[in-house]
Structure 1
């Protein structure tokens, strides 16, 4: 007789998927300050975001594979411990090299919150409810990248950037305690399984839909976190915002992703998920084109020009918010028999793409206001092409 799969609470899902995003963005208002304090260039400091996603990609593979072997709960708890160790390393960093290594360790541990939590969600929530659940979580998670800069901005302004990393150390302890108390093991992962990673990888590499979803998820997340990498240099350095107000400003920007995710959930009543993904990609491309037009016309450090840039970013992230939850929900529907390993392989691929895209933003960083919009226009154009091919496959 099959055991009933335990279902964690929605709040726990949000916390476990959300803390890696907070960790990614909480120190972004501090980037100019960190560059100055550690005597590093803006390009090298932005690489601390890229290395985070590289560590995340490696961690997603390892923890996803391990969750099939020892269970979801132990994998999450050990991952949070590693995350805490990395956070301590960030706090103690005397140089940018030390910070890069610590960010890798931090991300390696944090990745368990993404891959293992998504695996639990996919195996414990019925298919007819899963799209809506992903949309709810995506709407809530739209706040997490914004909460990070809000907390980090004021912490940096009043206490310095090291206090920001100490906040993550404390957070790791609190999340470990809450997970230990609240996370059940799922029956699907309660027994050790022997699954060939190579066989699963070969199966996925020949699946065109997996490639399409991986590219869309990687590019949308790459755009989101490239924005958080570049935005401090635009709004703090060019528009002369304080780090604290830049953090507060992030909440307004996050509303676009929230509205996009909630619109996606409502549209599921009338449209197929693939159609909604296509609409989201088109909206994101319109936002990127709007930003390019602004930059070409010559931005000035005025309130009006800053408001116009916010509108463009709002449109761009609105489209991203519509596309992401549907991509996450549909990506592995044909891999229910090997969810942990499939999630590991899939996550490795798309987080490597996120790392590549954020590295591209770091490489291109040159204090020009045109660089980010053009980069995003190229990426969103790619999204439109891929989403169109996905829609054709689904018909």
Structure 2
């Protein structure tokens, strides 16, 4: 392979690459009730399109993470986006639930390259406070893009029908593939590209690192909360409160505002506080907001539920960029493989948490807030333990 000159990709390209997998997940949410009716399956079954996405996604991040070390970042991303395009075409052509789930897995497997390879590129291109600020901006995109997904999906369903949500995803795949092919540089240096790390050694090192475990738990827990919300929220706001699909889609702006404000706050607060302090503050806010959410859900107050949902996700979006930036410090020489195994673990956690939400679904609007509180408390406890271990 010819020597390649390492370059830094643009922030816009990074945001595009981390954003499209998240949109692909959440754009489904407004059409879940319609899909349930059209395919004649239960609400719990149709929610499997959410949790199953992360099973294939978790497998994909491991595969693409290793291929990014062996092939290079650019070839791995282009191959992943191409498979993602095939999955979207299959979704559009699906006529039954089995085919829908099958191509959902193909879609997720391809989309996972956009997550793991892009994060690998970011970690090897930016470091320190600059890296934390870049991760804050891209974390906003990671939270903003699934927030925009329901709005896009709801509008497309209202105007054109649910099947054209899939044709929208086909168009998205084509645009991302062309943009990536045009603007993505190769960031992997030749000295790293020609050395293949032993996966057993990588896995053993990660497995004995408590920092990796706890930060992986935070990242997986936050994304688990996010996509559990997207799995359950349509049945709260559309079925229980009677919102239309496009009205529900507009609620994504609440999460979008939380993600943007969280990114802005992190960018500014990092000039005055350590990342560890921001993580604790963000998790604390999420716990308090979850308690408030349980109270107002019990009172059947849709408006106040949105207020506390905003506060809960604001706390999570303060936590997430710091966790992403700090998780794999010291793994730069094996970043692709380390990112792959690390992402496999936390996306499996996302899948489990999203599946548990579908399993717990029984029509009560208090279930989601209680679930959010339980996960937030677990994350806060784990991080507090890590801080004590590091101090000792």
Q: TM-score, normalised by structure 2?
A: 0.96
CA root-mean-square deviation: 1.4
1:191 aligns with 2:193: yes
- Counterpart of 1:36 in structure 2 is 37
Deviations along 1:331-373, one digit per CA (max 9) or x if unpaired, are: 0002111000000000000000000000000111111111111
Deviations along 1:12-44, one digit per CA (max 9) or x if unpaired, are: 000000000000011210000000000010001
1:353 aligns with 2:349: yes
- Counterpart of 2:85 in structure 1 is 84
1:164 aligns with 2:170: no
Distance of aligned partners of 1:126 and 1:253 in 2 relative to their CA distance in 1, 3 Å threshold: closer
Structure 2: 5+ residue stretches without partners: none
- Counterpart of 2:65 in structure 1 is 64
Distance, in Å, in 2 between the alignment partners of 1:152 and 1:228 is 12
Distance, in Å, in 2 between the alignment partners of 1:81 and 1:140 is 22
Contact 1:49 1:358 in 2 (8 A): yes
Contact 1:294 1:309 in 2 (8 A): yes
Deviations along 1:275-330, one digit per CA (max 9) or x if unpaired, are: 1111111111111111111233x31xxxxx21100011011101110010000000
- Counterpart of 2:339 in structure 1 is 343
Kindly state the Cα deviation for residue 242 of structure 1 after the two structures are TM-superposed: 0.9
**Further displaced range: 237-246 or 114-123:** 237-246
Distance of aligned partners of 1:229 and 1:208 in 2 relative to their CA distance in 1, 3 Å threshold: same
Runs of 4 or more above 6 Å deviation: none
Contact 1:71 1:192 in 2 (8 A): no
Kindly state the Cα deviation for residue 3 of structure 1 after the two structures are TM-superposed: 7.3
- Counterpart of 2:242 in structure 1 is 240
Distance, in Å, in 2 between the alignment partners of 1:71 and 1:388 is 38
Distance, in Å, in 2 between the alignment partners of 1:5 and 1:59 is 25
Indicate the SS of the match to 2:193.
Answer: coil
Deviations along 1:189-234, one digit per CA (max 9) or x if unpaired, are: 6733311111100111010110000100000000011101111111
Count of residues in Structure 1 that have an aligned counterpart in Structure 2: 388
- Counterpart of 2:360 in structure 1 is 364
Distance of aligned partners of 1:260 and 1:394 in 2 relative to their CA distance in 1, 3 Å threshold: farther
Kindly state the Cα deviation for residue 390 of structure 1 after the two structures are TM-superposed: 2.6
Contact 2:94 2:100 in 1 (8 A): yes
- Counterpart of 1:99 in structure 2 is 100
- Counterpart of 2:324 in structure 1 is 328
Distance, in Å, in 2 between the alignment partners of 1:110 and 1:140 is 15
Distance of aligned partners of 1:84 and 1:4 in 2 relative to their CA distance in 1, 3 Å threshold: closer
- Counterpart of 1:113 in structure 2 is 114
Kindly state the Cα deviation for residue 262 of structure 1 after the two structures are TM-superposed: 1.8
Structure 1: 5+ residue stretches without partners: 300-304
Q: How does 1:258-337 map to 2 (within 5 A)?
A: 258-296=260-298, 298-299=299-300, 305-337=301-333
Distance, in Å, in 2 between the alignment partners of 1:212 and 1:349 is 11
Kindly state the Cα deviation for residue 391 of structure 1 after the two structures are TM-superposed: 2.4
